[in-house]
Amino acid sequence: MGQGAGVPLRVVSYNIHSQRDDTAALAAVVRAATPDVVIVQEGPRRFRWRQKSATLAEAFGLVVAAG
């Protein structure tokens, strides 16, 4: 690819500590970063993890692509 070719992509990686922190504050931080992709460490696990992941993604203004 030549210089100037391509599309900018903003990727944010965040450890959410099994969602023990304030979800509203977390969502505000992620939204302020205006990411295209968010990689979440220690995301929802076990019981209803798919729904919890979808709810978290919705709070970010994004959708779940993998879980």
Give the model's pLDDT for residue 32.
94
Q: List all residues 6 or more positions away from 50 whose beta carbon is below 8 Å from its beta carbon.
A: 64, 67
Give the model's pLDDT for residue 1.
53
Q: pLDDT below 50 — which residues of the chain?
A: none
pTM (whole model) above 0.75: no
Which of 54, 67, 58 shows the shortest CA–CA distance to 27? 58
